[in-house]
Amino acid sequence: MRSPLRSPASTTLLGGFALLLLAGTALAQPALDESRYVEQVLTLSLEARIAGLEAALGRAEAVGAGLWPNPSLEWERQKTSSGTRAGESQDVLMASIPLVLSGRLGLEKQAAERNASAAEARHEWVRAGLRHEATRAFAAVLAARERRSILEQSLAELRRLAEAIATRERAGEAAGYDRLRIELEAATVQDALRGAVLDEHQAEAQALRLLGPGVTVLPPFEGSLQVERPLPEGAALLAELGERRGDLRALALEASGAEAARRAAGRSWIPEPTVQAGAQFLDVGQPGAGAGYVVGVGLPLPLFDRRQGEAARAEARRGLAEARHEALLHEARTRLAVVLNAVSGRRERLARHRADVLGRAQELRQIAATAYRGGGADLLVLVDAERASREARLTTVELVVSLVEAETDLLLLAGAYDGATPRSATR
């Protein structure tokens, strides 16, 4: 039976020639750190493009709102064809313009501008979500590669130990149990390595997807998994959520725009007269032709239709936007308090793990290696120390990833990823 210690690395088994070709292509691309990768996502992703076009549509819908009605020009010719005044004609040229004296145009323009600003705020929130997702995707790739590297290093160490125990077994200094034990340990690590490679491929595929269809090969990544991120803090954090977060600002602007639209519809009870003026030409081109003038005023009477439906719909939109804003603000404040505790708790746990577990595991590994070289420890003691060190390093990666997730959640919930600049200080 072939020993699993002699099988090739799982990266070669699972990657294949396609990965080698992709890696060769990726090396030609400039390496991206976290900030450059996030900017690439915000520039190239389809989600960013759709969000930008939706914001442009919101701005376009406000174009032309609140403008004065166009004047009209009319020409009319009247001519008799029979009777005692046959052949007489009359030409009337009239110009008219409505006079909007109610002030509704200014309110309609204000409502359109608020809705356009709400579209911009929603655009900022979508970009904030993309920044949050891209940051996590970048960290996931680095974490997957770190896990794979840890397992590869541990597997290489176990193979080296297996060679040493095989030499001792041939010399009659070791039993078959020792060989089987280390083979089992190596097979377990190799199986975990296969899973780590699959996780790495999945993380890279997600990171590549965010870059849009124009990028077919994931560029190389550089940087550390854990970076110092300026996190918002202070008592004003909860109070400024409405100013920081684009989704909350969008709902507030929608409510304000709906209120302006309601007020504009409520001005419809004020009549908007139409002023007319023009000239009258009699028997043009005939002897005795004459001219005169025409003036007039049209006054609509808003007795029945006073845009009651528009006012009711605007009032309903305002109430709905305010209710959504209140519910979202309550949810944001509740979740933000939880995430703040999660960040502090995960930071403390990571620091304690590094001091109490990781440091001791590395020290144990060094002591076991020294004792083995001096003949004071069995080879399996060294295997156990290697396993403890490996598990401690893998746990460190998991704790760092969980901290990154908590920090990015905090930045998203607090509105730090949005385009608005808050007044509170950051550390």
The CATH number of the domain holding residue 266 is: 1.20.1600.10
Contact call for residues 133 and 289 (beta carbons, < 8 A): no
pTM: 0.82
In 3D space, the residue among 60, 58, 174 whose CA is nearest the CA of residue 120 turns out to be: 58
**Range from 249-253, 271-275, 287-291 that averages highest in pLDDT:** 249-253
**What percentage of residues in the chain have a pLDDT greater than 70?**
87
Is residue 192 included in any domain, yes or no? yes
In terms of phi and psi (left: phi > 0; alpha: psi -120 to 50; beta: otherwise), the region of 64 is left
Q: Return the higher-pLDDT residue of 266 and 25.
A: 266
> Residue 79's domain spans which residues?
28-413
| Residue 3 placed within a domain | no
Q: Within a domain: residue 11?
A: no
What is the per-residue pLDDT across 359-396, written as a single tens digit (0 to 9) for each? 899 888 888 888 876 666 677 788 888 899 999 999 99
Higher pLDDT pick, 19 / 29: 29
Q: Work out how many domains the chain is built from and give that number.
A: 1
- How far apart are alpha carbons 34 and 62 in whole angstroms? 37
Q: Is residue 7 part of a domain?
A: no
C-alpha 315, offset from chain centre: 31
**278 in any annotated domain:** yes
14 confidence band (pLDDT: 50, 70, 90): very low
Residue 6 lies in a domain: no
Confidence class of residue 19 from pLDDT cuts 50, 70 and 90? very low
Measured CA to CA, the distance from residue 409 to residue 415 in angstroms comes to: 10
What pLDDT, on a 0 to 100 scale, did the predictor assign at position 189? 94
Task: Give me the mean pLDDT over the 135-140 stretch.
Answer: 96
Let me know if residue 426 belongs to a domain.
Answer: no
Is 185 within the bounds of a domain? Answer: yes
Kindly tell me if the per-residue pLDDT of 88 is higher than 90: no
